[in-house]
Structure 1
Amino acid sequence: MVISMKIVFNSSPLIFLSQLGFLEKFLDSNDNFYLPATVQQEINAKQD
């Protein structure tokens, strides 16, 4: 039996990975990711 799982993010880990320069490498993996619309809006609104 194969279980398919998705990784769901909130904004803090994505922002942290981006600041460390690891976000692109992490998202290039073979995992399934789900980014809720509210998280996307929060990231787009954040000005660091």
Structure 2
Amino acid sequence: MEDDKIMDLFWARDQAAIEETSTKYGGRLQRLAVKILYRGYSATSKPLPCKG
């Protein structure tokens, strides 16, 4: 599905928007999240305490 159609679903508060976003970008977003967390940063960009 095209991005503009996905955005229309979000603006309409349609739950299908989440499913379509996951289908189109889920893997890419998951890899990005893993990279961010692997580097020691949380979603709020604050460093996590070092282990060990």
For normalisation by structure 1, the TM-score amounts to 0.33
Identify, as 1 or 2, the structure richer in helix: 2
Structure of greater relative contact order (alpha carbons < 8 Å, 6+ residues apart): 1
For normalisation by structure 2, the TM-score amounts to 0.31
